[in-house]
């Protein structure tokens, strides 16, 4: 439908008919946002009804007659990566299969991986351009040389001016036609004819980003990454979310089909009119009844589907079990310093914001034991984040060398085991004992955890601690946006913050080792011989690239429960961030 010339017989049109087809996961992630992570197929997660409810566009009144747990352990049975037919907004549809407590694994490597290697491969070359005012209002798109020369088909420069047609396809398989011309003085690459149609059709505004992706077969794809101006919970200073709503959820009626400005009822163009970004960002996308239906099925141990729109901005409501385990291994206290990642305004990089935990309160009295938005926080720059008052513990990172930590949480390495009693002697009365999750950890196959501590002294002052993997590493390695790398490699000031990660590092398994700089950047690993380990009676195959993850888990447990498992690469031991950073356990030793 976008290609209007008659001489081409490329397939256009018709694609909209066959409903919503899946988008390539790499393309999907390229526009989902740099902070978005979707659990692996078959991995175990905790599903949070509260978090799901935040994704609804209307208030969710959970039925009072059934007891709804604050979280439901599930297996991820299916993942569909898709794009909204109206807005192009990406979303993921996950099928979750509730698990009995006895079935829950907190180990990332219990996942049966299907085609892990194929996912690892970078099938695309990406370029992301944030649209300027001139791109929108002017006659065409000013296309950076790198994008034109690297991703577009080779241009015959003999023309006057040199020009060609390019035919990228959007996430629905629709093909668009643009005139690509090299002209001006000095010469530059422009997309002229066809660009206006695209802007109008996709309702682009300046600040939105365009993602070009060139597949291996030279096919060109085009995706849209809407501006996060009005993003999650008032990150933006001009946020319109109502004051007084501590969590900052905006409840608005669902927006219907998109209308272009020219289709508005008003005859004057309205400057205050909401753009599509406003409609996409910060607004829940699912129906309250869908949330309730999902919860009901989950409570009854029935499989259920959830739809997750990452650009809505509220956190994921499914969290890997391993990450929850990590969270539970941290002693949280009020006054604790942390940093948290936010997508930058042009969505191209991550901004880190420092804050302090003000208190630990459950967000909703209906779930007195929930981890959801457990942390009530204050920010060092409160004006920028004034509507973000509560965050999830798995969203934050704990910098190690922040001076404001009231007393060291890192105990000497000799003290291998701590009793709960000792924690209760801590002076901080906001100290939080996880109320529900110990139930999971006290099941037979997940014994109470007592993790080892190491001496953090050696880490102090390190410019980049080789023993500690940070969220920034995680994102560098995970992102298929290779072109973002220059930005991502300086996500925060390493002079000031050496980090203890809270987020799951299991994604490291997908990392390209050459980018896995913290340990031994120049050292190539042996991919030939996957090792096996035995953990809790389970045989786990250690794929190349998975060793880190396995090591982390096994190290975490090994000091407590059994002999150190076989190490496929011994030098990796000290690279384990959890071994380094997670020091405590909550349940008493059995």
Partner DNA sequence: GTGTCGGCCCGTAGCCGACAA
Partner DNA sequence: TTGTCGGCTACGGGCCGACAC
Check binding of 19 to a copy of itself (CB under 8 A).
no
Pairing verdict, β 124-130 and 499-500: unpaired
- Residue 259's binding partner among DNA, a copy of itself, none (Cβ under 5 to 8 angstroms by kind) is a copy of itself
Quick check: 139 binds DNA (CB under 7 A)? yes
* Minimum separation from the CB atom of position 162 to DNA (A): 11
Residue 452 near DNA by CB under 7 A: no
Q: Is 349 in the site for DNA (CB under 7 A)?
A: no
For a copy of itself, the closer of residues 85 and 405 by Cβ is: 85
Q: How far is the CB of 16 from a copy of itself (least distance, A)?
A: 8
Segment contacting a copy of itself (CB under 8 A): 263-271, 350-358, 364-372, 451-459?
263-271
Question: In the complex, what is the shortest distance from the CB of residue 176 to DNA, in angstroms, rounded to a whole number?
Answer: 13
- 188 binds DNA, rule: CB under 7 A: yes
Closest CB to DNA among residues 188, 361: 188
3-state secondary structure (DSSP) of residue 590: coil
Tell me if 522 contacts a copy of itself by CB under 8 A: no
Residue 157 is given by DSSP the state T
Contact predicate 8/165, CB 8 Å: no
Query: What one-character DSSP code corresponds to residue 63?
Result: -
- CB count within 10 Å of CB 216 equals 10
Among 155, 197, 384, 411, binds a copy of itself (CB under 8 A): 197
4 binds a copy of itself (CB under 8 A): yes
Q: Does 404 bind a copy of itself (CB under 8 A)?
A: no
**Dihedral sign of CA atoms 111, 112, 114, 118 in order:** positive
* CA 211/CA 96 separation, integer angstroms: 30
In the complex with a copy of itself, which residue's Cβ is closer, 59 or 263? 263
With CA atoms as reference, report the closest residue to 278 among 245, 308, 255.
255
- Smaller CB separation from DNA, 134 or 512: 134
DSSP conformational letter for 381: S
**Contact by Cβ (8 Å): 164, 157:** no
Q: What are phi and psi of 389, to 5 degrees?
A: -105, -25
Q: Out of DNA, a copy of itself, none, which partner does residue 570 contact, by CB within 5 to 8 A per kind?
A: none
| Pair 72, 46: CB distance under 8 Å | yes
Applying CB under 8 A, which of residues 2, 36, 68, 230 lies at the interface with a copy of itself?
2
- Partner that binds at residue 520, options DNA, a copy of itself, none, CB closer than 5 to 8 Å by kind: none
**Residue among 277, 287, 232 nearest 57 (CA):** 287
Nearest alpha carbon to residue 561 among 449, 427, 473: 449
Residue 564's contacts (CB-CB under 8 Å, 6 or more residues apart) are 554, 555, 558
Q: Is 280 in the site for a copy of itself (CB under 8 A)?
A: no
133 part of the interface to DNA, by CB under 7 A:
yes
What span, in angstroms and rounded, lies between the C-alpha atoms of 484 and 502? 23
Applying CB under 8 A, the residues found at the interface with a copy of itself are 1-2, 4, 16, 197, 200-201, 256-260, 262-263, 265-268
Contacting positions for DNA (CB under 7 A):
132-135, 138-140, 142, 144-146, 161, 179, 181, 183-190, 192-197
């Amino acid at each position: 439908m976008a290609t209007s010339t008659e001489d081409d017989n490329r397939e256009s049109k018709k694609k909209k008919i066959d409903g919503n087809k899946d988008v390539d996961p790499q393309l999907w992630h390229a526009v989902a946002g740099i902070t978005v992570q979707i659990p692996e197929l078959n991995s175990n997660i905790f599903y949070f009804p509260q978090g799901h409810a935040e994704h609804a566009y209307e208030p969710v009144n959970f039925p009072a007659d059934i007891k709804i747990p604050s979280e439901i352990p599930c297996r991820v049975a299916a993942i569909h990566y898709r794009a909204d037919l109206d807005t192009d907004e990406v979303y993921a549809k996950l099928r979750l299969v509730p698990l009995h407590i006895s079935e829950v694994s907190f180990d990332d490597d219990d996942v049966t991986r299907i085609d892990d290697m194929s996912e690892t491969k970078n099938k695309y070359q990406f370029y992301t351009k944030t649209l300027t005012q001139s791109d929108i209002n002017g006659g065409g798109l000013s296309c950076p040389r790198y994008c034109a020369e690297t991703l577009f088909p080779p241009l015959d420069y003999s023309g006057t001016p040199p020009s060609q047609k390019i035919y990228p396809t959007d996430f629905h398989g629709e093909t668009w036609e643009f005139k690509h011309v090299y002209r001006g003085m000095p010469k530059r690459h422009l997309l002229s004819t066809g660009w206006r149609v695209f802007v109008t059709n996709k309702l682009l505004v300046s600040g939105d980003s365009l993602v070009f992706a060139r597949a291996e077969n030279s096919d060109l794809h085009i995706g849209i990454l809407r501006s996060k101006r009005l993003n999650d919970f008032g990150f933006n200073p001009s946020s319109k979310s109502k004051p007084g709503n501590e969590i900052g959820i905006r409840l608005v009626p669902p927006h219907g089909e998109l209308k272009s400005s020219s289709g508005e009822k008003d005859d004057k163009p309205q400057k205050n009119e909401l753009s599509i970004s406003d409609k996409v960002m910060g607004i829940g996308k699912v129906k309250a009844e869908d949330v309730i239906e999902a919860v009901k099925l989950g409570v009854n141990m029935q499989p259920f589907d959830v739809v997750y729109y990452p650009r809505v901005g509220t956190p994921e409501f499914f969290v890997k079990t391993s990450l929850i385990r990590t969270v539970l291994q941290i002693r949280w206290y009020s006054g604790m310093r942390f940093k948290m990642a936010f997508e930058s305004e042009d969505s191209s990089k991550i901004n880190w914001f420092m804050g302090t935990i003000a208190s630990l309160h459950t967000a909703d009295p209906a779930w007195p034991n929930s981890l959801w938005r457990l942390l009530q926080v204050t920010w060092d720059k409160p004006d920028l984040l004034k509507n973000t008052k509560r965050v999830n513990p798995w969203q934050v990172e704990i910098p190690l060398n922040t001076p404001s930590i009231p007393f060291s949480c890192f105990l000497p390495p000799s003290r291998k085991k701590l009793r709960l009693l000792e924690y209760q002697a801590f002076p901080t009365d906001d100290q939080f004992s996880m109320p529900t999750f110990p139930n999971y950890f006290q099941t037979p196959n997940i014994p109470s955890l007592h993790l080892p501590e190491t001496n953090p002294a050696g880490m102090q002052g390190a410019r980049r601690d080789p023993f500690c993997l940070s969220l920034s590493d995680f994102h560098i390695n995970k992102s298929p946006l290779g072109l973002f790398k220059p930005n991502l490699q300086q996500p925060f000031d390493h002079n000031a913050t050496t980090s203890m990660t809270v987020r799951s590092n299991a994604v490291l398994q997908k990392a390209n080792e050459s980018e896995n700089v913290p340990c031994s950047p120049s050292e190539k690993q042996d991919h030939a011989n996957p090792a096996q380990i035995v953990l809790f009676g389970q045989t786990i195959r250690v794929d190349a690239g998975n060793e880190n993850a396995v090591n982390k888990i096994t190290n975490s447990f090994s000091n407590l429960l059994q002999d150190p498992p076989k190490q496929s690469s011994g030098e990796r031991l000290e690279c384990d961030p959890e071994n380094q950073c997670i020091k405590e356990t909550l349940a008493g030793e059995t």
